[in-house]
Structure formats: structure tokens, C-alpha cells
Amino acid sequence: MTDIVPLGHAEAAAALRAAGPGARGFLDLDPVTQNDALLARTLERAEGQVLRVGETLVGAAPNRLQPRQSWVATTSDDEAAVRALVEFLVDYRRTTSCVALVPRGAPGGSAFLGAGFTDRGVLRGHRYASGAYHDVRVLFGRGFGRAEDR
């Protein structure tokens, strides 16, 4: 498994800000318009976790309505980082499925597809940013974890 470094909420907020516009929409956050305190508080409230895999930030937050499902995000098209995130979630959160909401033009779509996710469609006008509503791609991955857990 690739080396994964968990970040605290304050450290994650600073790292997302440093990632710049590529981090917009990361777990429904916007480090371009939100300050670090708000980013950290929002991550904490959502039980979100941000991890560094090499130079890439990946993150996950549990879906409270589906206990074995996680919302996931990445700041780059690094497929290995997404695979490392999925392995981490399976091992430490017993996750069996993941959902990624990828805003148009944001990195990560090809990394999720390469890691076994499928494109399930587009949510039209789902995300509000920069004074307008934007489309978001829905990518879904399942079948993670041990067979007896599914």
C-alpha cells in the first residue's frame, strides 16, 4: 500500500488552501472562498478526514445514511492516490462503496474511473460557486472490502 499521511483538520485546511483552485469542491469545501477556521470546522462536523498520498490530497467523509459508504475526493488525477484512499477506507472504516461528486473542470475524474469507479451521471446545477450553479459528475465505486462484509 502507498504511504498515507493523515492530516489534522487545521493542517488539512492549510493544505487544501495551498492546493488552490484544484481543491474547489473537495468534500463540498471551497478553500478559495472559505477561511481555514471554517474549512476545519466543516471537516470536523462532517467527520471528514484528509490524507496526503505523495503530493496528492485525498479525503473521505462517511455517508450518515449508508454507514458503509463514504463520500470521497481528490485534488489530482493520481490514480494510485485514489486506490490508496480506497484501501485505507476498506481497512479502517470497513467501507464497501464510495461516491465522488466531481465538479466540472475539477481534477480527479480520470483517477476515480481508473480506480474502478463508474460514471453514474450528472447532477445539473448541483453546486453553487462563483455566483453561478455548476454541474457535478457522480462517480460510484462498490465491491470494496471483504466478500463477507458485502
State the cell numbers at 128: 453553487
pLDDT at 149: 44
**Helices 9-19 and 36-45 sit at what angle, rounded to 10 degrees?**
120
Neighbours of 116 (CB within 10 A): 15
- For 121-137, write each residue's pLDDT tens digit: 999 988 887 788 888 99
Lookup result for grid cell 487544501: 16
- For 33-72, write each residue's pLDDT tens digit: 899 999 999 999 999 999 999 999 999 999 999 989 999 9
Distance CA 98, CA 35 (A): 27
Closest CA to 95 of 145, 31, 146, 43: 145
pLDDT at 24: 84
Q: Taking the model in full, what pTM does it have?
A: 0.88
Distance CA 128, CA 16 (A): 19
pLDDT mean across residues, the chain? 89
- pLDDT bucket at 145, cuts 50 / 70 / 90: low
The percent of residues above 90 in pLDDT, for the chain, comes to: 67
